Amino acid sequence: MSHLAHTVAVRATGVDMFFGTPENRVVALKQADFEARRGELIMLVGPSGCGKTTLLSVIAGTLTPQAGAVEVFGQRLDGLGQEALTSFRRRHLGFVFQSFNLIPTLTVAENVMVPLLIQGRPYGEARDRAVAILDKVGLKGREDGRPNALSGGQQQRVAIARALVHEPPLLICDEPTSALDKDTGAQIMQMVRDLSRSPERCVVVVTHDHRIFRFADRIAEMEDGRISRVVDDPRLLDTSQL
């Protein structure tokens, strides 16, 4: 049991999340349980509207559920105030969004520097680290260009650099490949896998894209606001529903 506690990165138990008014209530998560381990890349899959993004938001500390316990790297999130949650995200989380969310008026390097600057790192140090990680994602020489001058795949690589530049233990990706073509999507996932691989880091990827299932260590299937099963091999999944 103590061995298990050590390997657990994220644990959510009995999470309820409703939206809307009491009369017009949308149930997004219903007694959802979820667990992710250190050192693994786990994918969250399921039909549209089943609650994947909502669960991701809950473990990212951007949504506070109505019920349930959430623990991320030993830190209980339920009961934390906004300020503590913000500080938690600053130290523990990296985000990759479906729509990249790069700031178009900043340079590529400045975009990557954001998490470090939020942590209060000096500009010079932040820039050095941003340039170094941009090199790793294959964007050497593009540091001072604008994100809009890059292709979709390149922009998502900038986003990966931004998500990892401050070495967060938890990397969260929501549909990272759905705005990209098949080959580019595979490249991006390969990059996420290569760069985030670390015995301490946990990567949670929400996706519809069965072509990238092979990059997962485990796959958690969601249905109607809860995890219905977890498999180790994507071939065990019935992808026709997705």
Partner 1 sequence: MYRLALNMLFGDLAKLAMLLCGLAFSALLMAQQSSVFFGIMSWTYTPMVNIRAQVWVSDPMVEQVNDAKPLRDTDLGRVRSVDGVAWAAPLHTSFVQARMQDGNFKLITLVGIDADTFAGAPAVLSQGRIEDLRLPDTVIVDEWGAALMGRMGVGPDGQPRNTPLKVGDTFEINDIQARIVGICRVKRAFTGGPFVYTTYDRAKGYTLGARRTLSFMLVEPQKGVPPAELCDRIERDTGLKAWTSDTVIWNWGERSLARNTFWWFWTNTGIPFSFGTAVLLGLFVGIAISGQTFYSFVLENLKYFAAIKAMGAGMGVIARMLLVQAFTAGLVGFGLGAGMAQAIGRVMIEKGMPPFVMYPQILWATFALVLGISLVSALIGIIKVSRVDAASVFRG
Ligand X SMILES: Nc1ncnc2c1ncn2[C@@H]1O[C@H](COP(=O)(O)OP(=O)(O)OP(=O)(O)O)[C@@H](O)[C@H]1O
Residues of the shown chain interacting with ligand X in the complex, contacts defined by CB under 6 A: 19-20, 26, 28, 48-54
* Rounded CA separation 31/34 (Å): 10
Is residue 238 involved in binding partner 1 (CB under 8 A)?
no
| Cα angle 23, 29, 213; round to 5 | 145
Q: Does 178 bind Mg ion (CB under 5 A)?
A: no
Residue from the set 4, 47, 49, 101 that interacts with partner 1 by CB under 8 A: 101
- What would the x/- binding string for partner 1 be over residues 163 to 182, using CB under 8 A? -----------x--------
Residue 34 interface partner, choices ligand X, Mg ion, partner 1, none, CB cut-off 5-8 Å depending on type: none
Judge whether 111 and 171 are in contact, CB under 8 Å. Answer: no
What is the smallest separation between the CB atom of 208 and partner 1, expressed in angstroms? 13
Residues 6+ apart with CB under 8 A from 68: 12, 13, 14, 15, 16, 29, 31, 32, 78
Site string for Mg ion, 32-71 (x = CB under 5 A): ---------------------x------------------
CB of 25 to partner 1, least distance (A): 18
Q: Give one word for 74, left, alpha or beta, with left for phi > 0 and alpha for psi -120 to 50.
A: left
Say which amino acid occupies 242.
L
Nearest residue (CB) to partner 1, 6 versus 49: 49
Closest to partner 1 by CB, 179 or 237: 179
- Residue 22: CB atoms within 10 A of its CB come to 6
50 binds, among Mg ion, ligand X, partner 1, none (CB under 5 to 8 A by kind): ligand X
CB nearer to partner 1: give 116 or 202.
116
The one of Mg ion, ligand X, partner 1, none whose footprint includes residue 101, by CB under 5 to 8 A per kind, is partner 1
Neighbours of 204 (CB within 10 A): 24
* Residue 98 or 156 having the CB closest to partner 1: 98
Residue 221 DSSP SS3: strand
Number of amino acids touching Mg ion (CB under 5 A):
1
Q: Token pair for residue 217?
A: 């260590």
The Cβ of residue 236 has, within 10 Å, a number of other Cβ atoms equal to 10
Q: Is the dihedral of CA 105, 108, 109, 112 positive or negative?
A: positive
Q: Which residues bind partner 1 (CB under 8 A)?
A: 53, 56-57, 60, 62-63, 83, 86-91, 93, 95, 97-99, 101, 103-107, 110, 113-115, 117-119, 123, 146, 174
